[in-house]
Structure 1
Amino acid sequence: METFSKNQLIAGLILLVLIFFFLGLGGYDLTAPDEPHFALVAKEMLTDNHWVLPHRNQTPYPDKPPFFFWTIALFSALAGGTVNAWTARLSTAIAASLILWIIWQWSRAGDPDKPENSLGPLFTVLILMSCFKFFFQARIAQIDMVLCLFTTAALTAGYDAMTGKSYSPFRLGLFMGLGILTKGPVGLLIPAGAMAVFALMSGRSAWKNYPFKALAWTFVPVAAWLILLILDVALNNQWDYLNNLLFKQTVVRFFNPWHHHQPVYYFFVSILYDFLPWTPFFLLALPWTRPSREALDQRQIFSWAVILFTLVFFTLSKGKRSIYILPVFPFAAYVTAAKLQWLAGKSKLARTELAAGLIAGLLTLILGLGCLVVLGGWVALPLGWVEAPLPKGWIGAAGFMLTAVSVYILTSILKNRIKPMVAGIVAAMLVVNLLFFLVILPWLEPFRSARGFTEAMNQVITKSYERSSEKPVVGMVDYRSAYRLYGLFTLIEVANEFGFPNSSLPKIDNFFAAHPDGWLIVRQDDWESFLKDHAFKAKIHLRQKVGSGDLFLLITKDK
């Protein structure tokens, strides 16, 4: 690190950010279910001006507040008014980049007088950037990375408040308020709860610095939106939406979730594989012993407070997804970097420290050998539904590079050379990133995406109505937002009485009774199940495979 100037390091980090987060960002279709779902909400903001009361498929969407959708709509408007894969994902890639900048600045402020100070912040950024879960979420149009931006900004500002440093209550409150506008109360609860845990860890005197003033500013942006929302709800008589958003999607969903059920230990396991390849060093950083706890500085204690509170808080709910704990990752990277910086100053590594590096190197070797096994055809991937040649050339090249890098990582750790080892691990994850996002996903796209079926459907229906002034009515069994996002028609949601029935939706026979000239999108298996109990003559206009083998039909009633 000493051989590079500060400007060279920053330029190198910017280049890595562009490759890890932005290169080929729009090179593959939006992935169901979440990405098309959120993109459609933003699209209807642009087309129908539903900026305050979000809509999806022409109906109010109570699941999430609007901020994330505003960002997609804004970037789409700046790019010409069309929501696509690039504009939908741009806000998460930018959010991830800003998180790196925030945690870099926060790390550098830890002890600016030490000459080795640049090593810890640099390690923090490299670890976070190359952590699999973080760079994966940076390329996915999901809410949680934007939430992570605001929780990270709030927590780093909150640290200054809790340690008696100068801070802006307005700025801290604004970050928490924007977090609420992004994903609800967790935008406030994560920073507020983590700061409370830090106060408990630091002693009674720490409570006098708790930023209560900032809490008042938190509700300024929230109140501004709620006032506009209540006016919109009143004008459109959508009071059920307001109740759903404020209570069902927050309190009820936390204490009595209706999906994503996982065991109580779920997050304590998921963080171990989501934080790869840095998990062995994160485990080393855990303050297992009393001397290691006493050696922690204030920023490390604060980071552990964030990690502990976030894991425990989300564990209390039965509904669990690994992305919920994304706000942990910047601070997990910080404590891991602190441990690696300490290891870099040692002349000899202990057995556990050596083992951590060997595990990272062996994991890289396994990835490399796995690619070479695929190249040799010794193992068939479970992707028989993909009707295109496997890109063996790229997979083989990645395999050779990963194998070579693994040797570099292993020799570096055996020689107690921490900095080259870190560089090798980052290089390995860069290869994984490029292989997955620039090769594998574009290769899968024509077969996993609903775009092909939907565009063919658009042509069939449009041609049938080219001489008619009537508007086609289109329904879909097991509604999926991708078919509306890429389609030209609003979809009537039809119940799947053979899979996950929903009594509030019309069934297939009800749909055709109400719309005799209607068009219906349905899986072939569901249609065949329907025909077993119903005498129904239908005309199949389109039959096409979507995803991992599902055949979708476009049908009308045969007259």
Structure 2
Amino acid sequence: MPDFPLSRRRGSLLACIAIVLALLAGIGLRQPSPPDEPRFVLAARAMVDSGQWLLPHRGSELYAEKPPVFMWMQAASHQLFGGWNVAFLVPSLLAGLLTLWLTWDLARRLWNRQVAGWAVLALFSCLQFGLMAKRAQIDMVLVAMTTLAMWGLLRHLLEGGNRPALWLAGFAAGLGTVTKGVGFLPLLVLLPWALWRWRSRDRARPATAAGARSLGWLLPAFLLGTVVWLAPLGIALLHDPDPVLHAYARELLFKQTGTRYANAWHHVQPAWYYLQVIATLWLPGSLLLPALLPAWWRRLKRLDGRYWLLLGWALLVLVFFSASPGKREVYIFPMLPLLCVAAAPLLPGLLRRAGLRWLLLAYAAVLAVAALYLGVQLLGGGAWAHAQLARRQMPDSLLPVLGGWMLGAGILLAALVLWLRQRRAGLVVVVTSFLLWNLYGWGLMPALDPYSSASALMQRVGQRIGPQAELGLVAWREQNLLQADRPITEFGFKRPWDAQWRLAGPWLAQAPQRRWLLVLDAAMSPCVDRAQLVAIGSSNRNRWQLLPGTAWRRDCDAHLPAAAASSDDQD
């Protein structure tokens, strides 16, 4: 930032380095964990192993819940970086850094560099941003594409026409749509823009008129983005009559888009669900919303186009997702960067209010007290701490590790609060986020990884059956297949459990002395000798049993209860 004093430039550089280090913290030290990470890595690994990248697979079945673009990114990362423990997190990390830069540049263009710095620090400080940037889920990449599309659209609509920015916006929205179906949402900004133009019709607006004349290029740019995946899929459908392929396309293009939105079959939540998401996952930013809302309203009444587009679009996204019965906390995440841009010009003034500074300081103090309490409880090894580990089948050896990290974090946070105090509350929350994501990346996730990723369970399975045995899976989860130490025979993921048993039984009978099944406890068939079952442990709140081939009763024809005869898809 050459127009800033040297001390400010150094502070900005230090802040950038700290943010990058916080997002990098722990990368390569953990493996994919449920609910979403293992299935994406499983599909990406299948692409690399088979050389077939067009259609993602989950085991032997096509994976039709999401398009393959995110899995392409993970597979490409593996080709560049090697091991999966690093590669699977690279797309989210890069998307997070891109989102931060776009937030900075958009705020700089709409206001100035100082406001841009506030926008970046605000976004980094919100809990949901750090969580998603450090997890291998599609949503961080979707948010990067959404923010890129909004960056281009706002530049075009507010700068008096910028055709390259418009083309980039349309392409990013199209690519976002074939990454996750709601990538088209940036196009909704045209509605508040049109309303703002109408409300401002009595003022000279040659810039907005120039922007309107070029909007016809938005559609071809959008279609060009979707062609990245829809074109090869369409070619495959034209040249391959396989009904499985056509069923895959129908499910992905219709059931997993329109039906999932209009008539959701899981994650059903009430209409007000996102209010609690905003109140919790957007901390500490959500603490400022009662002061931001009236300030935003005053600027909307002044017909400031920047706020009309930023806030109008965010409101439309909130209404869009609230109207669907199916809701997840990540759905409204694309709003957050744009709301941080809208909040940034107001933050210096808000932080001059003593009441808001005390509120932010209390947020950091609560985190410090919670970390101190948990650290003392874990290190003390009381009944509560042992019970928490026992519920998750985790060893007591984790107590000093987790307790040490929590106590250390609590001490640092408490010292930070006491040192900077209320006058520097804004700095307190930024440094708190830096400490939080380092605790998460270096301490908590690596310690919990063997149990959250199911690698500890699958290691016990491998040791119990021996290196020469063959292993099959019934009613399995993606992490079981991903973490297995040998080639696996599975009988379908979405296939009903009874149908899986009809295939697994004959497979066991062919070599009963050498073959084993790992089975979800709730899906165990009545046609087994339960005396021979081996309770191998729990993982991700599921109990698992090992079944030797000799325990299978060939002459049995019993079935599972109807209520238990289907797989539980976690997607």
Match of 1:109 in 2: 109
Match of 2:274 in 1: 267
Match of 1:248 in 2: 255
Query: Residues 107-131 of structure 1: CA distance to partner in whole angstroms, max 9, x if unpaired?
Result: 11123xxxxx332111110111121
Query: Residues 77-110 of structure 1: CA distance to partner in whole angstroms, max 9, x if unpaired?
Result: 1123x4x232111110110001111111111112
Do structure 1's residue 403 and structure 2's residue 414 form an aligned pair? yes
SS of residue matched to 1:390: helix
Contact persistence 1:521–1:554 (CA under 8 A): yes
Give the Cα–Cα distance (whole angstroms) in 2 for the partners of residues 31 and 503 of structure 1.
24
Match of 1:155 among 147, 150, 159: 150
Do structure 1's residue 442 and structure 2's residue 446 form an aligned pair? yes
Contact persistence 2:360–2:426 (CA under 8 A): no
CA displacement at 1:544 relative to structure 2: 3.2
SS of residue matched to 1:307: helix
Contact persistence 2:519–2:544 (CA under 8 A): yes
TM-score scaled by length of structure 1: 0.85
Q: What pairs up with 1:40-55 in 2 under 5 angstroms?
A: 40-55=42-57
Q: What pairs up with 1:84-123 in 2 under 5 angstroms?
A: 84-111=84-111, 117-123=112-118
Match of 2:490 among 485, 489, 492: 492
Q: What pairs up with 1:427-466 in 2 under 5 angstroms?
A: 427-458=431-462, 463-465=467-469
SS of residue matched to 1:127: helix
CA displacement at 1:408 relative to structure 2: 4.7
SS of residue matched to 1:325: coil
Give the Cα–Cα distance (whole angstroms) in 1 for the partners of residues 457 and 209 of structure 2.
59
Match of 1:25 in 2: 27
SS of residue matched to 1:552: strand
Give ranges in structure 2 of 5+ residues lacking alignment.
202-207, 552-571
Give the Cα–Cα distance (whole angstroms) in 1 for the partners of residues 63 and 155 of structure 2.
37
Give the Cα–Cα distance (whole angstroms) in 2 for the partners of residues 511 and 51 of structure 1.
29
Give the Cα–Cα distance (whole angstroms) in 2 for the partners of residues 121 and 422 of structure 1.
15
Match of 1:383 in 2: 389
- For the aligned residues, what is the CA RMSD? 2.8
Do structure 1's residue 12 and structure 2's residue 14 form an aligned pair? yes
Q: What amino acid is aligned across from residue 517 of structure 2 in structure 1? A: L
Do structure 1's residue 508 and structure 2's residue 501 form an aligned pair? yes
Give the Cα–Cα distance (whole angstroms) in 2 for the partners of residues 371 and 224 of structure 1.
46
Match of 1:426 among 400, 424, 430: 430
Give the Cα–Cα distance (whole angstroms) in 2 for the partners of residues 430 and 148 of structure 1.
21
Q: What pairs up with 1:324-343 in 2 under 5 angstroms?
A: 324-343=331-350
Give the Cα–Cα distance (whole angstroms) in 2 for the partners of residues 304 and 448 of structure 1.
38
How many residues in Structure 1 have an aligned counterpart in Structure 2? 519
Give ranges in structure 1 of 5+ residues lacking alignment.
112-116, 413-419, 466-471, 496-500
Give the Cα–Cα distance (whole angstroms) in 2 for the partners of residues 554 and 287 of structure 1.
60
SS of residue matched to 1:543: strand
Match of 1:171 in 2: 168
Give the Cα–Cα distance (whole angstroms) in 1 for the partners of residues 176 and 11 of structure 2.
31
Give the Cα–Cα distance (whole angstroms) in 2 for the partners of residues 400 and 67 of structure 1.
43
Q: State the identity as a percent.
A: 25
CA displacement at 1:363 relative to structure 2: 1.7
Give the Cα–Cα distance (whole angstroms) in 1 for the partners of residues 7 and 306 of structure 2.
26
CA displacement at 1:288 relative to structure 2: 6.5
Q: What pairs up with 1:138-153 in 2 under 5 angstroms?
A: 138-153=133-148
Give the Cα–Cα distance (whole angstroms) in 1 for the partners of residues 171 and 296 of structure 2.
38
Do structure 1's residue 482 and structure 2's residue 475 form an aligned pair? no
Contact persistence 1:159–1:195 (CA under 8 A): no
Q: 1:475 to 1:9 in 2, by over 3 A?
A: same
Contact persistence 2:175–2:228 (CA under 8 A): no
Q: 1:291 to 1:172 in 2, by over 3 A?
A: closer
Query: Residues 151-180 of structure 1: CA distance to partner in whole angstroms, max 9, x if unpaired?
Result: 101111101222224232322221112111
CA displacement at 1:203 relative to structure 2: 2.1
Give the Cα–Cα distance (whole angstroms) in 1 for the partners of residues 256 and 230 of structure 2.
16
TM-score scaled by length of structure 2: 0.84
Q: 1:526 to 1:409 in 2, by over 3 A?
A: farther
Q: What amino acid is aligned across from residue 362 of structure 1 in structure 2? A: A
Q: 1:318 to 1:119 in 2, by over 3 A?
A: same
